Chains A and B, each alone.
Chain A
């Protein structure tokens, strides 16, 4: 199984395309993972009276169904996974849970990316060690 961690918007297009192409070539099932991460609110004291993770998860389900639709139109079988938390914690767990053999991740695209280049290298190494899955960086 190929696991693609994606946010779903315009920045994920390349990552999604690489994962879809790979799934087409190998005939493997493509799992699309969205992680609802509310840590961007950590530095504001504004009143947070709603279940932010639930709102983000709803949005994630919608974005993943768009990505799945795009993949299925190209003949790729998909499944979608939406989880709450931080990607670096959630991804290894989902990889093990789904027995994914290949992980597709996007390269950092700016200062508000989840990782900088160095952190991404470390994370990829960590993923290899913990899951044994092959990691492909797209973008």
Chain B
């Protein structure tokens, strides 16, 4: 290593099978500073004081500058070298996100989502529940396979228009769509950022992730669909069809597939990517390589305007993840994460079930009120530490699954809980519907409690 790790001195003393530092005072100045930087980044992101990427980049820059400028005068200020910073970045996550972004950018241009939504409208024959159910299933499935924010950006404006065209309040479609999107995203390794980050960290295969998460995600979706049916029973009650034919006609006008050839190619490559995800484990290929290779093939086949394609890959998101990994890497290198983990381990004791439940509910609570991506990145080393320390936790990986479920499902409780929520609120406001914190929480908290209870039962029974 470029610099000796400063901050925490490990005694190797065992207290209830848990490694603990000598004392709280053993937390060095580098660990305190790196934690402070993370906290500031976390606050800036959670309360939207700065753009997420700007906040994370500032944090990463602060850590590196302090290391090189402060550290040359005082070795205690050496937090993270450039080499260590590069090693802190999970490049599998970056390549996975980049690959899926390129795929999604090409697919979105074919208008396939609008085409499907309008077909669902016609197939529902004025039955509001049937229309909602089909839109929710579309949202859930696409959120599991594609970027959830993009899915919301494509489907919510259309759902607002469909709701107005058939004479129901837009909340009836939009709130359930957001809730289902957050749940569906937990179903696969590529659905939600917390799932991708945790899955990559523990090196699990696409199929391995599915085996652990898909059953509980499907159970949660069924439970939430029942809850939504009951919560919106008045809106879904059979009634005289109030559809405005002129408005529906206007909606249908722009719902044709654009560029069928591109859609066909994207379909073929999409299928290959899924097959690649399923089989990659046999040759120890990270999912990031599969997604990146799929995107490269699709670009070579479709031949989009490359300069436009490069613009459409969202570099701010990639930079956000890179910078965030560096900020958390600083906490890890200085021992701040381990310090925190030992305290949590003491609370959890030696009981894996208790630790898993604690992780699930604490992660959910945290994700409901602050941004779940930085929380997940910071919580992962803690989860690893708990997994190593608590008997039985390592073989099942229960703490990691608890973290995924808590971070993903907790995002449903409030409008701040996840990026799809924030984007949907913005889209509703653009249509003149101001969804309040309380109104979202009214549905969100019910759904979060139901899904977390199911998740808790799943964790206890399955592991």
Chain A positions within 8 Å of B, measured between CB atoms, are 6-12, 36-37, 40-50, 52, 55-56, 58-59, 61-63, 65-66, 69, 109-110, 112
Select which of B157, B320, B428 is within 8 A of A45 by beta carbon.
Answer: B320
Contact, CB under 8 Å: B429 / A112? yes
Known: A59-B161, A62-B161. A9 touches B431 (CB 8 A): yes
Residue in B48, B160, B170, B434 whose Cβ sees the most chain A Cβ within 10 Å: B434
- In chain B between 357 and 406, which residues have their CB closer than 8 angstroms to a CB of chain A? none
Chain B positions within 8 Å of A, measured between CB atoms, are 48, 50-53, 56, 97, 101, 104-105, 108, 147, 149-150, 153-154, 157-158, 160-161, 164, 170, 246-247, 250-251, 254, 312-314, 316-317, 319-320, 419-420, 422-423, 426-434
In angstroms, how far is the closest chain A Cβ from the Cβ of B319? 8
The CA-CA distance from A22 to B426 in the complex, in Å, is 30
Identity of the chain B residue whose Cβ is nearest the Cβ of A15 in the assembled complex:
B432
Contact, CB under 8 Å: A55 / B153? yes
The CA-CA distance from A71 to B56 in the complex, in Å, is 49
Identity of the chain A residue whose Cβ is nearest the Cβ of B418 in the assembled complex:
A46
Contact, CB under 8 Å: A49 / B419? no
A and B contact pairs by CB, cutoff 8 A, 20 listed: A8-B432, A9-B428, A9-B431, A10-B432, A11-B433, A12-B432, A40-B429, A40-B430, A43-B48, A44-B419, A46-B419, A47-B149, A49-B150, A49-B313, A52-B153, A59-B157, A59-B431, A62-B164, A63-B431, A110-B434
Known: A49-B147, A59-B161. A41 touches B154 (CB 8 A): no
What A residues does B320 contact at CB under 8 A? 45
The CA-CA distance from A11 to B250 in the complex, in Å, is 23
Contact, CB under 8 Å: A10 / B150? no
Identity of the chain B residue whose Cβ is nearest the Cβ of A69 in the assembled complex:
B246
Identity of the chain B residue whose Cβ is nearest the Cβ of A61 in the assembled complex:
B250
What B residues does A40 contact at CB under 8 A? 423, 426, 429-430
The 3 A-B residue pairs whose C-beta atoms are closest, nearest first, are: A9-B432, A40-B426, A7-B432
In angstroms, how far is the closest chain A Cβ from the Cβ of B170? 8
Identity of the chain A residue whose Cβ is nearest the Cβ of B169 in the assembled complex:
A10
For chain B, what secondary structure do more than half of its interface residues adopt (helix, strand, loop), or is it mixed?
Answer: helix
In angstroms, how far is the closest chain B Cβ from the Cβ of A27? 25
What A residues does B48 contact at CB under 8 A? 43
In angstroms, how far is the closest chain B Cβ from the Cβ of A69? 7
Contact, CB under 8 Å: A47 / B430? no
What B residues does A6 contact at CB under 8 A? 432
**Known contacts A46-B423, A63-B164, A69-B246; 13 further A-B pairs (Cβ under 8 A):** A8-B432, A9-B433, A44-B423, A45-B56, A45-B314, A46-B419, A47-B104, A49-B108, A55-B157, A58-B161, A59-B427, A63-B161, A65-B250
Select which of B314, B319, B431 is within 8 A of A8 by beta carbon.
Answer: B431
Select which of B154, B250, B317 is within 8 A of A46 by beta carbon.
Answer: B317
Contact, CB under 8 Å: B426 / A109? no
The CA-CA distance from A50 to B313 in the complex, in Å, is 10
What B residues does A55 contact at CB under 8 A? 153-154, 157
Contact, CB under 8 Å: A10 / B246? no
What A residues does B108 contact at CB under 8 A? 49-50
Contact, CB under 8 Å: A50 / B150? yes
Contact, CB under 8 Å: B434 / A11? yes
The CA-CA distance from A13 to B164 in the complex, in Å, is 14
In angstroms, how far is the closest chain B Cβ from the Cβ of A135? 20
Identity of the chain A residue whose Cβ is nearest the Cβ of B431 in the assembled complex:
A9
Contact, CB under 8 Å: B52 / A56? no
In angstroms, how far is the closest chain B Cβ from the Cβ of A101? 25
In angstroms, how far is the closest chain A Cβ from the Cβ of B419? 4
What A residues does B161 contact at CB under 8 A? 58-59, 62-63
Identity of the chain A residue whose Cβ is nearest the Cβ of B160 in the assembled complex:
A59
Identity of the chain B residue whose Cβ is nearest the Cβ of A6 in the assembled complex:
B432
In angstroms, how far is the closest chain A Cβ from the Cβ of B243? 13
What A residues does B433 contact at CB under 8 A? 9-11
In angstroms, how far is the closest chain A Cβ from the Cβ of B162? 10
Known: A45-B320, A46-B423, A49-B108. A63 touches B432 (CB 8 A): yes
The CA-CA distance from A66 to B431 in the complex, in Å, is 12
Identity of the chain B residue whose Cβ is nearest the Cβ of A55 in the assembled complex:
B157
What A residues does B429 contact at CB under 8 A? 7, 40, 112
The CA-CA distance from A58 to B162 in the complex, in Å, is 12
Residue in B56, B170, B250 whose Cβ sees the most chain A Cβ within 10 Å: B250
In angstroms, how far is the closest chain A Cβ from the Cβ of B70? 28
Contact, CB under 8 Å: A49 / B434? no
